Each structure stands twice: as C-alpha cells, then as structure tokens.
Structure 1
Amino acid sequence: MRRTDRDRPPTAPGDFVRDPLANPAAIIAARERSMAERLELAISWNKVASQLREGMVLVQATQQAAPRR
C-alpha cells in the first residue's frame, strides 16, 4: 500500500527540515490541496519573491548612488 502526504502525520520526519514553528493545521491543509493548486501557489510565491528581489536591488542601487554626508 502506498503512503501519501495525507497518511503521514505532520510531525513525521521527511526529506526536508520543517519549521518547528509551523502550524500543524496549515501543514495538513497544504497536503490536502490539489497538485494544480499547489503549483499555482508556488508560481505566485515565486513572482512575489522575484518582485521583492528587484525592489531590494533598486534600494541598494539608490543607497550606493546617494551622496554621503
């Protein structure tokens, strides 16, 4: 019989390190999402991370270009 994410308790060790502060209910809810929804969320988070990196680069460039007093 094949085990799925739903069969594994949220505290079971995996191939990754889980944040000890993670909400167990949120972990279970995430495992119950369809693969399509998981992919959509991952793409959305990647876009947010990309925008954040771009913003940080602009801030650093602005700070370096600003004259020091």
Structure 2
Amino acid sequence: MNDDVVPDASRYEELRLIRAFLRLTDPGKRQKVLECAERLAQEAPPAAATPALVATDASEPVRDVARPTE
C-alpha cells in the first residue's frame, strides 16, 4: 500500500490546508488563518463518524481522537 496516496477528497483538502498554512512565514498571517479556521469549525455542524484532531491548548501536541459513532 502506498502511504502517499490520499484516499478521498476530504483528506486532499486537509493536506492542501496544511501545506498552505506551512507556507505562511508571517506570524500575524498564520495567527489570522488559525483564528479563522477555529471560528469556522465552531460554526460547522459536527462531522459524522470521522476522526477529529483534538488539543486542549496551543502548547499541547495535537492527537487523533475518534469521535463516537451513533
């Protein structure tokens, strides 16, 4: 299995977002993007049965946590 292959469109979008963010060198712009993404995520309905990345604050490493299924 090739680990470099993105299995679906949502993963492709995630990678695009991460790559774009990593290209930002201005700390102010990075902070604006982060705040915007967090604001949009709060407004979004919960995703159904997909893993979520969770961190309690910016100093903690992000870890993958599966959401409960219904």
Q: Scaled by the length of structure 2, what TM-score is found?
A: 0.34
Structure whose CA Rg is larger: 1
* Structure number with higher strand proportion: 2
Q: Scaled by the length of structure 1, what TM-score is found?
A: 0.34
* Structure number with higher helix proportion: 1
User: Using CA pairs below 8 Å that are at least 6 residues apart, which structure has the higher relative contact order?
Assistant: 1
